[in-house]
A and B are shown apart, each in its own frame.
Chain A
Amino acid sequence: MGVILVYDGGFEGLLCALSRSLEEGEAPDDILPVGAGAQGSLFADQVVVEADPECAMRMCSRVCECVSRRALRKCLYAFLSEEEGREVRILEYLRLGFQVGAEVDSHLHRDFVRAVRDMARRTAHEAHRMRGFLRFRLLDGGMYYAPMEARCDVLRLVAPHFARRLEGQDWIIHDLVRGWAALCRGGEPSFVEMPELAVDLCERERRVQGLWRDYFRAIAVAERRNPRLQKNLMPERYWRMLVEIPREH
């Protein structure tokens, strides 16, 4: 009879589930966030693993000491990719990591090492795109607001970037997909749940957006028009966030 581990859906919870598997040397059939495994399985017992911050912290230091800090970061990024099946891949990756140490990242001929690397890269790439594609709008009242639709859960990765660079500016980055937001009024950003929000642009904002659209049109060289290249580099799924792209998209 196999086992399915069920965790709370957060990274800490996952670390606790991983820690349990690694310590007991068991190979669970699957590791699932709560909710996803609700339909149950005839052939496996579901075991709920409680999230325990201390256990998660211990696991973090063990990974840093016995594998590498880089490996821990990679696990976090792979987790944030939200890809299905990532939990078991991360488990396999760490199991090998505890055997061979920091060298685990060289084992690229193994599927799970590549899978973890690719998922982590996808998250990092998505975070980088958000650093470029987020557009803040100035609202009545002086708050800058940026809606975000990202494929991976990158809010925590991008918020510090904007906290550093937009010094003295109050802002919100609203993750529309996951219903939460980063809020910054000087200092460290805080994270809050935020389902939906109706925003009122101020008059000045409309003018600045118009100027940006004028610029966007003016800078293209007509003789070199190349929409396919443009879409390769800036996929259409992001266009809704961009104020420079005309409405029909």
Chain B
Amino acid sequence: MDLEEKLRILGGAARYDVSCSSSGVRRPARAGKLGDCARYGVCHSWSDDGRCISLLKVLFSNHCVYDCAYCANRASVSRPRASFTPRELADLTMDFYRRNYIEGLFLSSAVWVSPDYTMERLLLTARLLRQEEGFNGYIHLKAIPGASPELIRQAGIYADRMSVNIELPSEGSLRLLAPDKRKEDILGPMGEVAEHISANREERKRFRRAPAFVPAGQSTQLIVGATPESDLRIVELAEGLYRRYGLKRVYYSAFVPVSDDPRLPRLESPPLLREHRLYQADWLIRHYHFTSGELLDEERPQLDEQLDPKSGWALRHPEFFPVEVNRADYEELLRVPGLGVRSARRIIQARRVHSLDFEDLGKIGVALKRARYFITCRGRYYSGARVSEEEIRRNIGTLCGTSRGRAGKANQLRLFGDDGGLRGVEDAITSASGEI
């Protein structure tokens, strides 16, 4: 089989992995090596589905011994199979990198022969790139569930980021749809990587030249909509992963039906709007200091598809509002629907020298469409008086472009909201331009 054919099969097989992030690590250029990594990451292209391409994202092999119902490469399905060699992958990565197509390599794999055999192949590829080719760009490696701790530790020396995909948000679903995988096989490597990262951090405090271990941290991915877990369970799980394992990112992947297995739900299209709301909730937890309990509870276990989660929280907490923009602190500003990190910072900067009214807010680039119902400027509301909850709900609902009946369409068009969830390279532009 020629290389073109392999790339089509194994690139195509990797497309359900969401992450393509190359951010979060600074790897300065070094004499005699090719490449560097900027902390802000770089997107090089966007594919037809609007997702960014930052890394060459491929499977090493799609020969799989497992038979997970949700997966396009499961053992029981008949489809073209292929495997790279480490040499082929190293050459592809170098060729693409020299032409500025990519920031580096994201190497995953189906479980070929055995977890250890597969993990060894990934490790060999990374070692070839780093040691023989002198590659100094970004490498993201999958930790194969069930692989031995020693192989995972070695891989972490070459990788900037590692990830283990949880895929299914509960043990019960795992047992049902992925009978070959056990929860411990997934959480084991994740815990080991987390421990090595924190030990390495301590070591580097004492010995600055100690080699870095997975400096860009860990991430994982959850499939949404293949199993019955509520948004509450999913968001709680994500929150736990951020706290307990120090994960950098949890990615959510709307379930794309790849088989007619009776254990899987029948969906007309992937639940993209639900995925979008989960990214918004995730963003609120990571950057806006919300907790899962503030967004969802046992009585309301699903995120409102008609309303973004921050607006939802605001409408349930009228006692918190209005927020006076000329006095509120940063944390309070972040709680206002429609105000993001950038707007909040701009407000704080501008009000140092000038008391702000609504016109000023518009000028400095603060979007008022949602915020205007929740703030006052010099004690005054935008429309003179407080607006009732029903009216806010009506107006914001239409704004989101997700009013009933149009939801499916709108959701296609407006997926890229203020959460940047699909962008992959986190806040790339903001950091690159340094808010100058």
State the Cβ distance, B341 to closest chain A Cβ, in Å.
Answer: 16
Contact of B363 among A108, A167, A217 (CB under 8 A): A108
Within the complex, what minimum Cβ distance (angstroms) separates B64 from chain A?
Answer: 18
**A234→B46 contact, CB < 8 A:** yes
Contact A125-B50, Cβ < 8 Å, known A144-B98, A219-B14, A233-B416: no
- State whether the Cβ of B25 lies closer than 8 Å to any Cβ in chain A: no
Interface of B is mostly: loop
C-alpha spacing A70/B436, complex, angstroms: 8
- Identity of the chain A residue whose Cβ is nearest the Cβ of B416 in the assembled complex: A229
A124 interface residue per 8 A CB criterion: yes
Does chain B have a CB within 8 A of A109? yes
Question: Which residue of A has the minimal Cβ distance to B348?
Answer: A106
Contact status B7-A215, CB under 8 Å: yes
B50 cross-chain contacts in A, Cβ below 8 A: 224, 226-230, 232-233
Q: What is the chain A residue whose CB lies nearest that of B14?
A: A219
User: What per-residue 1/0 map shows which CB atoms of B406-436 lie under 8 Å from chain A?
Assistant: 0000001101100000110000110011101
Q: A144-B98, A226-B49, A234-B46 are in contact. Are A219 and B11 (CB under 8 A)?
A: yes
Q: A134 within 8 Å of B by Cβ?
A: yes
Chain B 1-32: CB-based contact to A (< 8 A → 1; otherwise 0): 00110011101101110000000000011111
CB distance from B384 to the nearest CB of A (A): 22
B47 & A219 in contact (Cβ 8 Å cutoff): yes
Does B290 make an interface contact (CB < 8 A)?
Answer: no
Q: Is B222 an interface residue (CB 8 A)?
A: no
Q: A108-B363, A224-B256 are in contact. Are A214 and B434 (CB under 8 A)?
A: no
Residues in chain A near residue B377, CB distance under 8 A: none
Residue A131 interfacial (CB < 8 Å): yes
Q: Compute how far the CA of A244 lies from the CA of B48 in the bound complex, rounded to whole angstroms.
A: 11
Interface residue from A70, A107, A210, A216 paired with B45 (Cβ < 8 Å):
A216
B33 engages A134 (CB within 8 Å)? no
B360–A219 CB distance below 8 A: no
A230-B46 in contact given A108-B350, A223-B256 (Cβ < 8 Å): yes
Pick the residue among A211, A224, A227, A228 that contacts B272 (CB under 8 A): A224
| Interface assignment of B57: CB less than 8 Å from any CB of chain A | yes
Does the CB pair A128–B429 fall under 8 Å?
yes
- Cα-based distance from A218 to B4 in the complex (angstroms): 11
Residues of A within 8 A of B32 (CB): 167-168
Given A124-B432, A216-B45, A229-B415, also A135-B56 (CB < 8 A): no
Would A220 and B49 count as touching, CB distance under 8 A? Answer: yes
Residues of A within 8 A of B51 (CB): 220-221, 224
Contact A221 B15 (CB under 8 A): yes
Near A by CB (< 8 A), chain B positions 133-156 give: 137
When the two chains form the complex, which single residue of B4, B101, B413, B416 contacts A214, counting CB atoms closer than 8 Å?
Answer: B4
Please, which residues of chain A bring their CB within 8 A of the CB of B432? 124-125, 127-128, 131
Q: Which of A6-14, A25-33, A86-94, A114-122 contacts B (4 or more CB under 8 A)?
A: A114-122
Evaluate whether A211 and B15 lie within 8 angstroms (CB atoms) in the complex, with A164-B36, A224-B49 already known: no
Verify if A18 is at the interface (C-beta below 8 Å from B).
Answer: no
B420 vs chain A, min Cβ distance (A): 10
